[in-house]
Amino acid sequence: MTMTSADAVRSREPLPLTAVTIDDRFWAPRRELIRTRTLRHQESQMRRPGQQFDALTLTWRPGDPDEPHIFWESDVAKWIEAAGHCLATTDDPELDQAVDEAIELLAGAQQDDGYLNVYFTVVKPGQRFTDLRDAHELYCAGHLIEAGVAHFEATGKTRLLDIVRRYADLIDTVFSTDGPCAGGYDGHQEIELALVKLYRVTGERRYLDLSRRLIEWRGQQPYYFELELQRRGTPGYFGTRLPRRAEELRRFREYNQSHQPVADQSEVVGHSVRAMYMYSAMTDLADEYGDERLLQAVQRLWTDLTTKKLYVTGGMGSDPSIEGFGPAYDLPDAHGYAETCASIGLVQWAQRLSNLTGQGHYVDTLERALYNGVLSGASADGTRYFYGNPLASGGAVARQEWFQCACCPPNLARLISELGRYIYAQGPGEAVVNLYVAGTGRFTLAGGEVTLRQDTRYPQDGRLAVTVTPADGEAEFTVSIRIPGWSRRPAVTVNGEPVHRPALRDGYLTLHRRWRAGDLIEIDLDMEVRRTWAHPAVASAAGKVALERGPIVFCLEGVDHDCPVHTLTLGRDTRIHAVPDERTGVVTLHADATTDADADGLLYSDQPPGRSSAALTAVPYFSWANRGPSDMTVWIRDGGDG
């Protein structure tokens, strides 16, 4: 894979968290819940005896209970990162102190040469970087690096940033072209995107070049993981848990996307979270190096994902055995996977692609994942979590307080606490609105500072008001506001005057003029209930329809019905009513439907079941499983036109 040496200039960049305020009725309470309850709950889970924080004291000895796990540092790191995002905009001395204590634990666990991984310090000393395929060393290092960058940007403190730089410097040496792990790469991708962040905050080119090497070496032959296995002579951390790995070499090369050079890949395969993190890094590197081959690769992969392997909720990964992708159109509703972390990774990747290309359709998918596949991952009180997010349930699925593999809870916390970086972007002479969230964004453009103020009740309705305030009273620049693909007839006014045939470019309403303080843009996105049908090859959705409104996907829950939800049928000409719902902050949908009647209790009958009238109630998918055990379905039987 050839990369150019010249840096590319990113077409758009997100605003820093400190330039964004959020006072949105939908998002502000959820973000406050993350800071005041979710992060405290997660900290208490990780402070339990024998868990993540304890492990960092390095007091565990062979034979002791609670052997430190291979990826516990990543849980702590994501928690610190989420807390850092909160501290960027909120004064919280208690949270600040808790983070400082966690950082000191990390400092105490760091070795003299910069190495920082508890498992290979106390459980398998002397075996560093010998099980890259399975043991998550570089994955943990990546999350530590992201935490260091986020904490520095939020607080200005360099303690954690210094720690992770020492570790990154060691990794740079070990994975240099003449280092002991030359040609190697991560079994669980993550460090690659983290190194780009570290480069951008420090200006140290070697971190960017290290990220490039790890991506460039991936998938080259001879396959590094197979050479590593021969050198090590042991099966690796997951070797005995994946017993058919040797017989299914191709499948398990695909599992971590090392089956071919990344620039040649065109089909999303393998573990879905690994894929999302790697594609994010590839997009970053395509950006930084102006690498057209990498850009073409991620665009091919995006097309494959979104046209063949993405759930309507923005979830992905239909095969629980690998937490990853199955064949095209293999999207089972009740028995799929759709890991919360995968939707989070999709949000991160989509933002990068949108900023690099200026295309709004990437944010359409980002928004789908955010409001559905991500938000469903936590309970309404912020203390229970889904790892996987099925699209149907018989009633036995419930969120859990914690997991032995606790990657999703702090990952969700860090994304929601970082929401401000996804709302806006800025380019040369351009202020961009990507997400509709009440609050303000402060832009630094060539003509001076500009503030955009959003007022909206989105996603409850589709009306948006944007007030433009140049710091100097007036300035000439472009305001670009994304118009979602589902909005068929958006109405736009500027200072009360209708904009006839508004100019849409790459999915954005683009308004270039000399703006004066107080200028007002108003948009009505014409938010209607939409019926959505899947490709005929999606077996679980055959003969069924899903309901959407704006970015929200809806589902049926048994708690709202007197019959099993899978028996409900919705006619295509049936009117659907949307009623504001303060419980979810969106709306509830109501419609007349029919349900199958019980044929006198017979298991089988020579007569079709009768039909009776029923009232159908649909609620936002993200809100399901908050009112006790209940059956659920996203896909509703389609009654056709009759």
With 0-12 / 13-18 / 19 or more C-beta atoms within 10 angstroms meaning exposed / middle / buried, residue 4 is exposed
Q: Are 122 and 174 found together in one domain?
A: yes
pLDDT at 501: 84
pLDDT band per the 50, 70, 90 thresholds, residue 6: very low
- What mean pLDDT is reported for the chain? 96
Q: Extract the runs of DSSP E, i.e. beta strands, from 429-576.
A: 430-433, 439-445, 448-456, 463-470, 474-482, 491-494, 497-498, 504-505, 508-516, 519-524, 529-532, 544-549, 552-557, 568-570
Query: Last residue of some domain: 524, 555, 588?
Result: 524
Residue 2 lies in a domain: no
pLDDT at 606: 87
Concerning whether 407 is annotated as a catalytic residue, the answer is: yes
| Residue 107, domain extent | 13-423
Q: Are 548 and 503 found together in one domain?
A: no
Both ends of the chain: CA-CA distance in Å? 57
Residue 553 lies in a domain: yes
| pLDDT tops 90 at residue 597 | no
Count of CB atoms situated within 10 Å of the CB of 84: 28
**Whether 323 contacts 268, CB under 8 Å:** no
Residue 274 lies in a domain: yes
With 0-12 / 13-18 / 19 or more C-beta atoms within 10 angstroms meaning exposed / middle / buried, residue 552 is buried
Q: For residues 59 and 118, give the distance between their C-alpha atoms in angstroms, rounded to a whole number.
A: 10
Q: Where are the alpha helices (DSSP H) in 502-589?
A: none
pLDDT at 5: 31
Q: Are 400 and 432 found together in one domain?
A: no
Residue 601 lies in a domain: yes
Can you read off the two tokens belonging to residue 54? 């304890």
Q: Are 600 and 462 found together in one domain?
A: no
Mean pLDDT for the stretch of residues 164-182: 98
3-state secondary structure of 114: coil
**Whether 71 contacts 77, CB under 8 Å:** no
The Cα-based distances of 135 to 69, 127, 139, 270, 381 in angstroms read 9, 11, 9, 17, 34
Please tell me which residue in 43, 216, 288, 323 is annotated as part of the active site.
323
How do residues 303-320 score in pLDDT, each as one tens digit? 999 999 999 999 999 999
pLDDT band per the 50, 70, 90 thresholds, residue 7: very low
Q: Residue 59's beta-bridge partner residues?
A: none
Q: For residues 51 and 68, give the distance between their C-alpha atoms in angstroms, rounded to a whole number.
A: 7
Q: Residue 15's beta-bridge partner residues?
A: none
Please tell me which residue in 341, 407, 408, 555 is annotated as part of the active site.
407
How do residues 318-347 score in pLDDT, each as one tens digit? 999 999 999 999 999 999 999 999 999 999
How do residues 534-589 score in pLDDT, each as one tens digit? 999 999 999 999 999 999 999 999 999 999 999 999 999 999 999 999 999 999 99
pLDDT at 632: 98
Q: Are 351 and 491 found together in one domain?
A: no
pLDDT band per the 50, 70, 90 thresholds, residue 600: confident
| pLDDT tops 50 at residue 3 | no
Q: Are 437 and 502 found together in one domain?
A: yes
Mean pLDDT for the stretch of residues 451-466: 98
Query: Last residue of some domain: 480, 509, 524?
Result: 524
Q: Which helix (H) or strand (E) holds 224?
A: helix 224-232
How do residues 61-73 score in pLDDT, each as one tens digit? 999 999 999 999 9
Please report, rounded to a whole number, the percentage of residues in the chain having pLDDT higher than 70: 98
Q: Are 305 and 336 found together in one domain?
A: yes
Q: Are 561 and 516 found together in one domain?
A: no
Residue 447 lies in a domain: yes
| pLDDT tops 60 at residue 106 | yes
| pLDDT tops 70 at residue 302 | yes
Mean pLDDT for the stretch of residues 428-450: 96
pLDDT at 79: 98
CATH of the domain at 164: 1.50.10.20
Q: Residue 46's beta-bridge partner residues?
A: none
| pLDDT tops 50 at residue 489 | yes
Q: Are 162 and 134 found together in one domain?
A: yes
Residue 596: phi and psi, rounded to 5, are -75, 140
pLDDT at 261: 98
Q: For residues 402 and 38, give the distance between their C-alpha atoms in angstroms, rounded to a whole number.
A: 12
Q: Are 87 and 212 found together in one domain?
A: yes
How do residues 128-165 score in pLDDT, each as one tens digit? 999 999 999 999 999 999 999 999 999 999 999 999 99
Q: For residues 19 and 13, give the distance between their C-alpha atoms in angstroms, rounded to a whole number.
A: 13
pLDDT band per the 50, 70, 90 thresholds, residue 642: low
Mean pLDDT for the stretch of residues 266-291: 98
How do residues 67-100 score in pLDDT, each as one tens digit? 999 999 999 999 999 999 999 999 999 999 999 9
Concerning whether 555 is annotated as a catalytic residue, the answer is: no
pLDDT band per the 50, 70, 90 thresholds, residue 40: very high
pLDDT band per the 50, 70, 90 thresholds, residue 599: low
Residue 1 lies in a domain: no
How do residues 345-378 score in pLDDT, each as one tens digit? 999 999 999 999 999 999 999 999 999 999 999 9
CATH of the domain at 507: 2.60.40.1180
**Any idea of the CA torsion for 155, 40, 458, 351, to the nearest 10 degrees?**
50
Mean pLDDT for the stretch of residues 425-451: 96
| pLDDT tops 80 at residue 466 | yes
Q: Are 486 and 630 found together in one domain?
A: no
Q: Are 613 and 485 found together in one domain?
A: no
Mean pLDDT for the stretch of residues 47-55: 98
Can you read off the two tokens belonging to residue 218? 């991936």
Residue 4 lies in a domain: no
pLDDT band per the 50, 70, 90 thresholds, residue 10: low
Q: In what order do the strands lie in the sheet with 463-470?
A: 20-22, 439-445, 448-456, 463-470, 519-524, 491-494, 497-498
Please report, rounded to a whole number, the percentage of residues in the chain having pLDDT higher than 90: 92
pLDDT at 9: 41
With 0-12 / 13-18 / 19 or more C-beta atoms within 10 angstroms meaning exposed / middle / buried, residue 582 is exposed
- Residue in this structure with the two tokens 């992060």, named with its chain if needed: 39
pLDDT at 1: 33
- Residue in this structure with the two tokens 């540092």, named with its chain if needed: 73
pLDDT at 528: 96
- Residue in this structure with the two tokens 């395969």, named with its chain if needed: 269
pLDDT at 4: 32
Please name which of 422, 412, 441 lies closest in space to residue 82, comparing C-alpha atoms: 412
Residue 5 lies in a domain: no
Tally of domains in the chain: 3
Q: For residues 84 and 90, give the distance between their C-alpha atoms in angstroms, rounded to a whole number.
A: 10
Q: Which helix (H) or strand (E) holds 393?
A: strand 392-393
Query: Last residue of some domain: 362, 389, 423?
Result: 423
